[in-house]
Amino acid sequence: MFFPAVASAMAERVGPALVDVPPHECPGTGSDQAGKAAACQGCPNQGLCSSAQPAGPDPAIEEIKEKMKTVKHKILVLSGKGGVGKSTFSAHLAHGLAEDENKQVAVLDIDICGPSIPKIMGLEGEQVHQSGSGWSPVYVEENLGVMSVGFLLSSPDDAVIWRGPKKNGMIKQFLRDVDWGEIDYLIVDTPPGTSDEHLSIVQYLGATCIDGAVIITTPQEVALQDVRKEINFCRKVKLPVIGVVENMSGFVCPKCKKESQIFPPTTGGAEMMCLTLNVPLLGKVPLDPQIGKSCDTGQSFFSEIPNSPATLSYRDIIQRIQNYCSHDRPQEERKP
Amino acid sequence: MEAEAERGNLAGVQHIILVLSGKGGVGKSTISTELALALRHTGKKVGILDVDLCGPSIPRMLNVQERDVHQCDSGWVPVFVDQDKTISLMSIGFLLEKPDDAVVWRGPKKNALIKRFVSDVAWGELDFLIVDTPPGTSDEHIATVESLRPYQPLGAVLVTTPQAVSVGDVRRELTFCKKTGLRVIGIVENMSGFVCPHCSECSNVFSKGGGQELAQHAGVPFLGCVPLDPQLTQSLEGGRDFIQEFPKSSAFPALVGITQHILSMASPRSS
Ligand SMILES: Nc1ncnc2c1ncn2[C@@H]1O[C@H](COP(=O)(O)OP(=O)(O)OP(=O)(O)O)[C@@H](O)[C@H]1O
Ligand SMILES: [Mg+2]
Ligand SMILES: [Zn+2]
């Protein structure tokens, strides 16, 4: 029985006790009681807590803090839902920021099992090089570097069949062992969900202060219900939410120019969700098939379709994010 | 009889089908839901096991998000979607205190719950058990495939959308199936084309043909193209029975085709 506390209490309804293990019972991974306390008996994490995890915080956190001293702003791109456009957004946020030649921009793709950044940024087949000071990122432009597990695979068919600890190890390496150099913006693209990758990135960057998270969603409730969970995750781990982007919001028929809601906002869309949860809405981006095409060919759609409504909306959103980073929360005042 | 006993709670389950994709948001939960509804309409009893622990969608898609799971002597009683108990569902969505609660779990905890989902749910007699998964090839997938292996699943339905970015991830999922010895029933190309409701022009919103090409390239069956159909999205938002209500809509024939493929694959084994 994996959840002994639950089994005994589970007379009728199988309830939330299963999900929220009472915190006073779990000593926490940082404690020297980790894996040994009475409450740990039978917990699925017991093995991990008692052996693999050293007592106290991971020394890598300090090393990463050192490494990140040369990185001004860190932005996570998150969504609870899959396929809403996180990687497309991450890549184009980077393209947009890197238009200013004086800014150094980096993209870190921590979607370990489904890395799409290499394809979207036209870097498929590229390999990471080892230098004296670590792994060097792959560069799209002089001021735009990228790191992804995709650069470490030998074929497009390679599957990364890894459990959590291995993924976490990779993320740690990406932060600690990559020669990032002086960076103005580090953009982190993530897989959907609220699990190992998300906990690890927040934990490893925890001592360095993250500017915040941009949350991507589509307008329908099936997506929003997962995105609310993601926002609750941010609150749980004290990650500021920069704002929400509603993607694939309306589709304009190329023939008759009339708009259709392919993913209808049946519960009020991102707008309503943002009101209810009191987070800013950064903007809405329409569904434009050209965006998909640009991503498939690894081009930036800013240059492909400079005047489309989607591009204009993107530019507006990027401006807001820049404002957030520079005005709203000056570097010195932020607390980790 | 001994083998029966070992199968425990899955003893009465004829066929197990996994719905997989390397890519998120391509319609795994949609295909799982519609497959269950379509199989029900052919008179089958169907169970759905939702192992997407961080983003469960099926409870809403079947309009049972308010329901609870109960305990009986042989394990957890799944939620029955209809009065006749032809579709039953187990999902973490039923175990959360508040629907918006985030399930912030690392791998081992997810693995443990999936193992319980496989062994402890009292499914009873089922013709099909459909397993909906999150995107990727990680803990949930390894745990699901490992704990289902003794029950010899019929195979996996792989879902993709047509664009290259998505097909790339599904190629990796094919490798996952090969490595774990899971048979590939076939590939579904979802969101393939959108017919404008105003002028009937078909736009390839997410490109076209990628799923079919991949099936050919990999030598696995192609199960068909499901178009982007606003009536389907609407049905899923409200948890309504699309198969019952919209037999004339554009996605219907494709969904029925996939169901028939699966029925014909399953029939020789059922004897
Ligand atoms: N053929 C289709 N026509 C119209 N809408 C669709 C179609 N297929 C899926 N959808 C809609 O697209 C959205 C994503 O689908 P779904 O939730 O099934 O994807 P998923 O692969 O399960 O996502 P995740 O990876 O997040 O679990 C849903 O809102 C669904 O209603
Ligand atoms: Mg799903
Ligand atoms: Zn039209």
pLDDT digits over B214-237, tens only?
Answer: 999 999 999 999 999 999 999 999
- For residue B120, the chain A residue with the least C-alpha distance is A1
Q: With bands split at pLDDT 50, 70 and 90, how would you rate the model's confidence at A22? A: very low
Q: Is the pLDDT of residue A50 over 70?
A: no
- Amino acid code (one letter) for B251: A
State whether A72 and A45 are in the same domain: no
The beta-carbon neighbor of B207 closest among A2, A218, A293 is A293
State whether A34 and A180 are in the same domain: no
Ion ligand 2 nearby residues (CB, 5 A): B 28-29, 57
C-beta separation of B221 from A281 below 8 A: no
B13-270 maps to CATH 3.40.50.300: yes
Interval between CA B196 and ligand 3 midpoint (Å): 5
Interval between CA A296 and ligand 1 midpoint (Å): 20
pLDDT, chain A, mean: 87
Q: Is residue A251 included in any domain, yes or no? A: yes
Alpha helices (H) along B95-209 = 107-120, 139-148, 164-180
Question: Closest Cα to residue A283, out of A323, A231, A243?
Answer: A243
State whether A170 and A271 are in the same domain: yes
Q: Is residue A149 included in any domain, yes or no? A: yes
Interval between CA B268 and ligand 1 midpoint (Å): 31
The DSSP secondary-structure symbol of A18 reads G
Q: Is residue A1 included in any domain, yes or no? A: no
Alpha-carbon span B53 to B111, nearest angstrom: 10
Our CA-based measurement puts residue A41 at a distance from the nearest CA of chain B, in whole angstroms, of 14
Q: Is the pLDDT of residue A223 over 50?
A: yes
Our CA-based measurement puts residue B40 at a distance from the nearest CA of chain A, in whole angstroms, of 23
A285 sits in which H/E element: strand A281-287
State whether A175 and A194 are in the same domain: yes
- Would you call B61 an interface residue with chain A, using a CB distance cutoff of 8 Å? yes
The DSSP secondary-structure symbol of B162 reads S
DSSP, collapsed to helix, strand or coil, labels residue B103 as coil
Alpha-carbon span A56 to B60, nearest angstrom: 41
Contacts of B238 in chain A (CB under 8 A): 266
Which CATH number goes with the domain that contains A251?
A: 3.40.50.300
Q: Is the pLDDT of residue A8 over 50?
A: no
> Buried b vs exposed e over A106-132: b needs ≥16 C-beta within 10 Å?
bbbbbbbbbbbbbbbbbbbebebeeee
- The protein residue whose alpha carbon is closest to atom 26 in ligand 1 is A82
Pocket of ligand 1 (CB under 6 A): A 81-83, 192, 220, 222-223, 263; B 21, 24-30, 52, 55, 57, 134-135, 190-191, 226, 228-229, 232-233, 236, 251
Alpha-carbon span B165 to A292, nearest angstrom: 9
Our CA-based measurement puts residue A16 at a distance from the nearest CA of chain B, in whole angstroms, of 5
Q: Is the pLDDT of residue A138 over 70?
A: yes
Q: CA-based diameter of chain A, in Å? A: 68
Q: With bands split at pLDDT 50, 70 and 90, how would you rate the model's confidence at A3? A: very low
Token pair listed for A285: 């981006």
Tell me which of A226, A231, A258, A261 to substitute to probe the interface with B (most B C-beta atoms closer than 10 Å). Answer: A226
Considering its fold, how many domains does chain A have in total?
Answer: 2
Test A260 with B112 for CB contact under 8 angstroms: no
The pLDDT of A316-322, averaged and rounded, is 98
Domain ranges, ordered by start, for chain B: 13-270
CB–CB contacts below 8 A, A to B? 255
Q: Name residues whose C-beta falls within 8 Å of residue B166's C-beta, 6 or more positions apart in sequence.
A: A83, B21, B23, B26, B160, B206, B210
**Window A:72-111, CB contacts with B under 8 Å:** 80-84, 87
State whether A86 and A45 are in the same domain: no
Q: Is residue A18 included in any domain, yes or no? A: no
* Domain ranges, residue A202: 62-334
Q: Is the pLDDT of residue B173 over 70?
A: yes
Residue A300 has what pLDDT?
95
C-beta separation of A27 from A34 below 8 A: yes
Q: Name residues whose C-beta falls within 8 Å of residue B8's C-beta, 6 or more positions apart in sequence.
A: B119
Alpha-carbon span A292 to A88, nearest angstrom: 9
The complex's ipTM works out to 0.94
The beta-carbon neighbor of A157 closest among B103, B171, B237 is B171
Our CA-based measurement puts residue B214 at a distance from the nearest CA of chain A, in whole angstroms, of 11
Q: Is residue A243 included in any domain, yes or no? A: yes
Q: Which residue is associated with the tokens 């009065």?
A: B83
Alpha carbon distance, N-terminus to C-terminus of chain A: 39
State whether A244 and A278 are in the same domain: yes
State whether A39 and A118 are in the same domain: no
- Would you call B217 an interface residue with chain A, using a CB distance cutoff of 8 Å? no
Q: Positive or negative CA dihedral for A200, B29, B163, A258?
A: negative
State whether A114 and A252 are in the same domain: yes
The pLDDT of B129-137, averaged and rounded, is 97
Q: Positive or negative CA dihedral for A306, A312, A313, A315?
A: positive
State whether A310 and A254 are in the same domain: yes
State whether A30 and A178 are in the same domain: no
Q: How far is CA A214 from CA A76, A231, A241, A325, B78, in A?
A: 6, 10, 6, 12, 36
Q: With bands split at pLDDT 50, 70 and 90, how would you rate the model's confidence at B17? A: very high
Q: Is residue A231 included in any domain, yes or no? A: yes
Q: Is residue A126 included in any domain, yes or no? A: yes
pLDDT tens for A73-132 read 999 999 999 999 999 999 999 999 999 999 999 999 999 999 999 999 999 999 998 888
- Would you call A13 an interface residue with chain B, using a CB distance cutoff of 8 Å? yes
B270 marked as part of a ligand binding site: no
Residue A58 has what pLDDT?
87
Q: Name residues whose C-beta falls within 8 Å of residue A174's C-beta, 6 or more positions apart in sequence.
A: A108, A110, A147
Contacts of A289 in chain B (CB under 8 A): 203-207
State whether A47 and A191 are in the same domain: no
Q: With bands split at pLDDT 50, 70 and 90, how would you rate the model's confidence at A327? A: confident
Test B24 with A81 for CB contact under 8 angstroms: yes
Identify the bridge partners of residue B76 per DSSP, sorted by sequence position. B71, B121
- Would you call B231 an interface residue with chain A, using a CB distance cutoff of 8 Å? no
Alpha helices (H) along A37-163 = 46-47, 60-67, 86-98, 117-120
Alpha-carbon span B59 to A247, nearest angstrom: 24
State whether A30 and A138 are in the same domain: no
Alpha-carbon span A18 to A3, nearest angstrom: 7
Residue A6 has what pLDDT?
35
